[in-house]
Amino acid sequence: MSHADPEVAAPDAERRSRGRPRKTADERDDGNRRQAVLHAAARLFRQQGFAATSTRDIAAAAGMRSGSPFYHFENKAALLGAVMQEGMRSALQRQAEAMRSAAENAADTGRTLSAHECLRVLVRSHFEVLLGPDSDFIPVMLYEWRSLSEAQRSEVNRLKAEYEAAWVPVLQALHASGELQGDPGLARLMLFGALNWSVQWYDASRRATLDDLTQTALQLFLKDPT
């Protein structure tokens, strides 16, 4: 194949360049900047509330121009839904990783996890989601649920159901062993209610650790097998 004449190739290249504009900074770093918007929005929605937070506030917190969040999200309501969905997806991932790690550690010693141990892992992981690093997402879901559209609620509920599904067989097994005396379905609702309320009162500067909270929660809901 012969080399193209530079004088012919140049206009073609110029036309291609004109037809495909150079990407903006937002486009070149789309994933990271989208995450920056989500994290800034989650923090501000938690601290100030959804209604009191403007997109200008979010842009400033993310280090962007005031209109930049609209490159990633249609409006503030869409951003709220994305914050909650991001929180649930992150919680699902953390929970799965915690369970997998615990199961692998048990297998290394030639045993399987008991239902009691499984619940400990689930509770500890949930406290990490609620109170650990990057923990603004789930509290926003607890505070701002009514601000979601019906479609947004449906998607978040789907993710919540997937998250809670891991708890169901564990609580059923604990009920069968006598360690959980109450109905497993009701116990699950009450357990989540108690754990989730910790976002209102927990103070990391005090001496109680997430491990301490986990142990206390297990002592409240379970008893020694009969």
For residues 60 and 134, state if they share a domain: no
Of 73, 91, 111, the one marking the end of a domain is 73
CATH number at residue 41: 1.10.10.60
Residue type, 106: A
For residues 41 and 96, state if they share a domain: no
Residue 49 has phi, psi (to 5 degrees) of 95, 150
CATH number at residue 169: 1.10.357.10
- 1 assigned to some structural domain: no
For residues 41 and 152, state if they share a domain: no
- 112 assigned to some structural domain: yes
Of 49, 73, 97, the one marking the end of a domain is 73
Residue-number span of the structural domain to which 63 is assigned = 9-73
pTM of the predicted structure, to 2 decimals: 0.80
Q: Are 126 and 210 in contact (CB under 8 A)?
A: no
Q: Are 120 and 171 in contact (CB under 8 A)?
A: no
Domain count, the chain: 2
pLDDT in tens, the chain (226 residues): 444 444 444 444 444 444 444 444 444 455 578 888 899 999 999 999 999 998 889 989 988 777 666 667 888 899 999 999 989 999 999 999 999 999 999 999 999 999 999 999 999 999 999 998 888 888 898 889 999 999 999 999 999 999 999 999 999 999 999 999 999 999 999 999 999 999 989 988 887 999 999 999 999 999 865 4
